[in-house]
Amino acid sequence: METPLLDRAPKAINWYAVVSSQESIVPYMMDNGLLKKEMTCTHCASDMNLCKRKDISDSLQWKCPACLLTSSIRRSSIFEKSKLPLRKLMELVYYFGIDLQIYEVEKLSDISHVSVDEWFDQFRIVCKESLTNDPVLLGSNSEHLIEIDESLFVKRENITEVQENKIPGFLEWWRRGQGK
């Protein structure tokens, strides 16, 4: 019997408390680097203030106190050009983080296959850039060698249906003469 989708999710935070309201989503996104905590006016270089607005979807915007220029809270973020509500975007981030398949995300979020696929591609790019800029050291020290590989498992349901699963694998090797 297959485990329900949401039961596979990590329980580190109360996710539903985060996405339950706009007031909780924005601070969470800012604290985790998804939205800017501070913004500088592009016109006069003054520090902008975060202001509430009921007539826009995000309910908040940046406003310059000097020249009154306004800007979206999404400016300079990966979400800048998206029309999806922040709640839906955070759902996508969450589902990507718990490694759900695109078809599973479609069912849970009511977002089209194309949109989910494009967002997951963007998230992969962000992850790749992050790991490139700040590499993670695998292994406990320089005496170890970490081998990373991927295996492809194929299950044939019938003549036309093939299910493929790619499984990453990590193996830690001791260097010669360093037996364990």
CA atoms of 69 and 65, how far apart (whole Å):
8
Handedness of CA 23, 29, 34, 39 (dihedral sign): positive
Can you spell out the DSSP letters for 147-165? EEEEEEEEEE-SSS-EEEE
Average pLDDT in the 26-51 region?
92
Lowest mean pLDDT among 24-28, 36-40, 151-155: 151-155
| The model's pTM | 0.66
| 164 band by pLDDT with thresholds 50, 70 and 90 | low
| 180 band by pLDDT with thresholds 50, 70 and 90 | very low
Average pLDDT in the 28-32 region?
88
Instruction: Using CA atoms of 100, 32, 27, 30 in order, give the dihedral in degrees to the nearest 10.
Output: -120
Domain ranges of the chain: 144-174
Q: Which residue has the higher pLDDT, 173 or 96?
A: 96
Q: Which two tokens stand for residue 78?
A: 């990966």
Highest mean pLDDT among 8-12, 61-65, 126-130: 61-65
State the alpha helices, DSSP H only, in 32-174: 86-97, 102-109, 113-133
β-strands 70-72, 144-156: how paired? Answer: unpaired
